[in-house]
Amino acid sequence: MALSRAKRFKIALAGSLAYGLCKLWFSTCRIRILQPDHHQKYLTGLPPAIGATWHRGAIFFCYFYGPLHPMVMFSQSEDGEYLARFAQKCGMIPVRGSSSRGGGQALRRMVQFLRQEKGHCSTVLDGPQGPRFKAKKGLLLLAKLTGAPLIPTMWSASRVITLESTWDKTIIPRPFSEIVVGYGQPYYIPRDCSDDQLDECRLEVEELLNNLMREVDRLCGYRTR
């Protein structure tokens, strides 16, 4: 995607402003991690892992996991450029691609990052444009090719802003709310699994993420839209 110099400046400025606002906004919130041992072992230690979540909570997770410097795939669209710049300001390592364009090259880069550089990756399994809460099989290939576990990860908050007009019903914690972060058990995908088996894995991961989402929403009193 070719962008003019003015557009690149606008996107870079927007990313910096969004990061500054989120840093101030989220610093007022209290964060409670339900499984701190999972957080420590699988997402801040070794071996490398793949954090898996839904797109609805991506804004807070960019801020929360940015200091761990995971690699994350963003689409090559203009919207993806805004998100990638914001995530980069948070500390993430963006790689560009999606199921419709550039996904193969981005996937190879993430495989290299996990295997050779021993870094962590994060994925929003229903991105970049849904359907909402439906896992994409292509993104599960990252776990299959590397042997790295998928770590279901989800958050909710005691008070939430829901952006009803967005396809994923994006959620943002309100200032001074309590944010609850939950993890599921590591999920491994065998390297020799067939396409049919991978589709079964997709459905299992989808169920794990939805169950975890319902659990953190229940603890926070948030009703999933």
Is the alpha carbon torsion for 43, 210, 75, 79 positive or negative? Answer: negative
Pick the closest to residue 50 from 126, 136, 118, 132 (CA basis): 118
pTM of the model: 0.91
More confident of the two residues 172 and 75: 172
Residue 1 pLDDT more than 70? no
| Mean pLDDT, rounded, of the chain | 91
Question: How much is the average pLDDT of 173-177?
Answer: 98
pLDDT tens-place string over residues 72-102:
998 888 778 888 999 999 999 999 876 666 6
pLDDT tens-place string over residues 37-46:
888 877 776 7
**Residue 38, phi-psi category: left (phi > 0), alpha (psi -120 to 50), beta (remainder):** alpha
195 burial via Cβ count (<10 Å: 0-12, 13-18, 19+) = exposed
The percentage of the chain sitting over the pLDDT mark of 90, rounded to a whole number, equals 69
Strands annotated E in 41-200: 50-53, 71-74, 93-96, 121-124, 150-157, 160-162, 171-173, 178-183
* 43-57, 95-109, 132-146, 159-173: least confident range: 95-109
**pLDDT at residue 146 in the model:** 94
CATH entry 2.60.40 includes domain 5-220: no
For every residue of 57-88, DSSP letters joined together read: GHHHHHHHHGGG--EEEE-SSHHHHHHHHHHH
Residue 14 pLDDT more than 70? yes
| Whether the Cβ atoms of residue 66 and residue 92 lie closer than 8 Å to each other | yes
| Whether the Cβ atoms of residue 147 and residue 188 lie closer than 8 Å to each other | yes
* Per-domain residue ranges of the chain: 5-220
